[in-house]
Amino acid sequence: MPRRRDATRLGGTRAPRTNAHAAARRELSARHPRLARLVKLAHPLERTVPDKRPLSHLVVRTIVGQLVSTAAARSIMKTLIDAHGDINGIVAWAMRTPADAPPAHSLSRAKRRAMANWGFFLAEHGDPRKKWQDLSADELVGEIVALRGLGPWSAHMIAIFGFGHPGIWPEGDAGVVRAAAVVFKGIRKPTVRKLIQGHESHVALCCWALLDKGRLAEF
């Protein structure tokens, strides 16, 4: 299970005063007292989605963040940027590096290969954002995990922050698991999924916000 606690820092932009979060907050608040409490403690959310930058920015940072702490991911990203200039430079380096070359820049061989595979995919198919934008949650996740080196956790992060898909519930994320265990204590998982249906991604953002703001103990 990925050990990232603050997955919202993978991507996203600063939220404006009025945004799409407001509608989700109102609807969730009306569904159940637990959800009302959750959005009250989590809002205002510091980040909104989707991130409008090229998808490569999020994909590279997501790959780096797989199974490492936030501090480690930041350190690795700094090393990569210092060495290759920008995200495109990192992808280009990964693509031209032999697959069996040793790890470099504190990045594992497997993660470098995943970045290379992303670069090769873009070179052949172009940016998939427009093509994938209207897919269902399952379809979008399926397209992403079909790319070698991107598993379910990475797919969920990319679907939320890269596409702003509202129906993504990243139940494999350690932070979401930790917060949800408190927020939905005593409520069966099938019931939770019904309660959050249609706003799964927003609930995940709120769970991360509780942790980032240190407010989980107030629930």
Asked if residues 169 and 177 have their Cβ atoms less than 8 Å apart, the reply is: no
Q: Render pLDDT for 25-78 as a digit per residue (tens, 0 to 9).
A: 999 999 999 999 999 999 999 876 898 899 999 999 999 999 999 899 999 999
- Whole-number Å distance between alpha carbons of 55 and 163: 9
Q: Distance between CA atoms of 61 and 76, rounded to whole angstroms?
A: 10
Q: What is the pLDDT of residue 199?
A: 97
pLDDT digits (tens, 9 = 90+) for 115-172: 999 999 999 999 999 999 999 999 999 999 999 999 999 999 999 999 999 999 999 9
In DSSP terms, which residues pair with 14 in a beta bridge?
47
Q: Comparing 19-28, 143-152, 193-202, which segment has the lowest mean pLDDT?
A: 19-28
Tell me the two tokens of residue 127. 């940016």
* Whole-prediction pTM: 0.89
Per-residue pLDDT, 19: 66
Contact 128, 143 (CB under 8 A): yes
- pLDDT per residue over 209-219, tens digit each? 999 999 999 99
User: 11 pLDDT band (50/70/90 cuts)?
Assistant: very low
Strand partners, 13: 48
Structural domains present in the chain: 7-49+168-218 (1.10.1670.40), 55-163 (1.10.340.30)
